[in-house]
Chains A and B, each alone.
Chain A
Amino acid sequence: MSYMEIAGHGAYVPKRVVTNDELSRMVDTSDEWIFTRTGIRQRRIAENENTSDMAVAAAREILESAGVSASEVELIIVTTGTPDYLVPSAACLVQKGIGAWNAFCFDLNAACAGFLYGMSAARGMLDRYDNILLIGAEMLSKLTDWTDRKTCVLFGDAAGGALLRRSEKPRRYAEFLRSDGRGAEYLTMGYMAPTGMSESFLPYSKVDMNSREVYNFVVNTTPETIQGVLGRAGIGMESVRYIVPHQANLRMVEGFAKKMGLPMDKFYMTIGEFANTSSASIPVTLDRMFREKLIGGGDIIILTAFGGGLTCGSTLIEL
């Protein structure tokens, strides 16, 4: 199998900043309550744009960063649990937006772990397709229950991604991905109730989460997938520059960092600024790290994610 490189990166977040103080005027909460429990200070919320619009904006940045034209892209994968439509895919809307007429396109949903699962799919197709555009794009605000103070403070909207292609230079890649459908009901959104032949339309369900079960799953499985991916790569933690976790909750990351005996400066966080943007959180964070030159060619990093499904996993890549 070919080696894979991240040849470009990009991100887009909506303009509107919603602070914790603003939310405390809508539901019974406060900046202090939200920040101490989650590490979140603010989030971006989209207005007058949809998931694919954010993905198109991110795609343009990615192509520019890679120096690749839209016509050179042969595959577009959008990871999302909050697409514009069930049909067509957000990926086809990205194709339309950027004019990538030589690409084929599909969406992939693995909730917050989507970007890692998407990278796994892209890696598997790398020998057959050049210039794979992998974008995580999520508009959680569409399915957020803005009256539920436990969940509405957690989420934000964003898109980010990478251009993946074959690398002549050898580069490490290892993955350790898992799912556990036994926990399917612990984190749900967008339930479509069967209606039979009735004309009634029931709106999709909003985000619903069993916090304790999700917390336990994350804090227990993340150390396993990180150790697992190190084992598969055959290297030790000392060779890893950064661990880039799905930005769900700072306290959860502190929980599994402590469990693994790792210092928090091994983990890079953007949750304070963007909150939890599901499968967009890792690529948005990666884009930030590339731009701030925290990571670059030759560095080994681990991406780790977990989410509804339940899904989880860690992926080790050499940049």
Chain B
Amino acid sequence: MSENEIFAKVAAIAAEQTGKDAGEITMDTKFAEDLEADSLDLFQMINDIEDAFDVKIAEIEGIQTIGDAVRFVEAQKQ
């Protein structure tokens, strides 16, 4: 799965949970500041990302941006 494909899926998950426009989401978009996600939104997005890519995200502290999540999934998938 390419980085673009992972990004598209992560962006769709983030857009659905936060009610934002997926088209405005970039790799630099911050979950908390830009998407106004609170902790429960974050839990649910992490849940959905885990399900979508069949990965386990143990530590969410390092994941601040959409790009962080995409790179995490990429690393897990290799």
Tell me the A162-212 residues at the B interface (CB within 8 Å). 211-212
Q: Is A65 an interface residue (CB 8 A)?
A: no
Q: Once bound together, how far apart are the Cα atoms of A37 and B46, in whole Å? A: 17
Q: Is there contact, CB below 8 Å, between A255 and B44?
A: yes
Q: Is B43 an interface residue (CB 8 A)?
A: yes
Q: Is A216 an interface residue (CB 8 A)?
A: yes
Q: Is B4 an interface residue (CB 8 A)?
A: no
Chain B interface residue count, Cβ-Cβ cutoff 8 angstroms: 8
Do A212 and B60 form a contact, CB below 8 Å, given A36-B38, A37-B38?
yes
User: How would you classify the secondary structure of chain B's contact residues: helix, strand, loop or mixed?
Assistant: helix
Q: Once bound together, how far apart are the Cα atoms of A252 and B40, in whole Å? A: 8
Q: Is there contact, CB below 8 Å, between B47 and A251?
A: no
Q: Is A215 an interface residue (CB 8 A)?
A: yes
A-B CB pair tally, cutoff 8 Å: 25
Tell me the A195-242 residues at the B interface (CB within 8 Å). 211-212, 215-216, 219-220
Tell me the B31-67 residues at the A interface (CB within 8 Å). 38-40, 43-44, 46-47, 60
Taking CB as reference atom, which chain B residue is nearest A250? Answer: B40
Interface string of A85-113 (1 = CB under 8 A from B): 00000000000000000000000000000
Taking CB as reference atom, which chain B residue is nearest A251? Answer: B40
Q: Once bound together, how far apart are the Cα atoms of A251 and B37, in whole Å? A: 13
Taking CB as reference atom, which chain B residue is nearest A36? Answer: B38
Contact of A219 among B38, B39, B44, B60 (CB under 8 A): B44
Q: Once bound together, how far apart are the Cα atoms of A219 and B40, in whole Å? A: 11
User: How would you classify the secondary structure of chain A's contact residues: helix, strand, loop or mixed?
Assistant: helix
Among B38, B40, B46, B47, which residue has the most Cβ atoms of chain A within 10 A? B40
Counting contact residues on chain A (CB < 8 A from B), the size range is: 10 to 19
Q: Once bound together, how far apart are the Cα atoms of A248 and B2, in whole Å? A: 39
User: Nearest chain A CB to B47's CB is how many angstroms away?
Assistant: 6
The residues of A that contact B39 with a CB separation of less than 8 Å are 37, 211-212
The residues of A that contact B38 with a CB separation of less than 8 Å are 36-37
Q: Once bound together, how far apart are the Cα atoms of A179 and B47, in whole Å? A: 21
Interface string of A240-277 (1 = CB under 8 A from B): 00000000010110010000000000000000000000
The residues of B that contact A251 with a CB separation of less than 8 Å are 40
The residues of B that contact A255 with a CB separation of less than 8 Å are 40, 44
User: Nearest chain A CB to B10's CB is how many angstroms away?
Assistant: 18
The residues of A that contact B60 with a CB separation of less than 8 Å are 212
Q: Once bound together, how far apart are the Cα atoms of A219 and B44, in whole Å? A: 9
User: Nearest chain A CB to B40's CB is how many angstroms away?
Assistant: 5
Q: Is there contact, CB below 8 Å, between A216 and B47?
A: yes
The residues of A that contact B40 with a CB separation of less than 8 Å are 37, 215, 249, 251-252, 255
Q: Once bound together, how far apart are the Cα atoms of A230 and B43, in whole Å? A: 28
B interface list, Cβ under 8 A from A: 38-40, 43-44, 46-47, 60
A interface list, Cβ under 8 A from B: 36-37, 211-212, 215-216, 219-220, 249, 251-252, 255
14 contacts between A and B (CB under 8 A): A37-B38, A37-B39, A37-B40, A212-B39, A215-B43, A215-B44, A215-B47, A216-B43, A216-B47, A220-B47, A251-B40, A252-B40, A255-B40, A255-B44
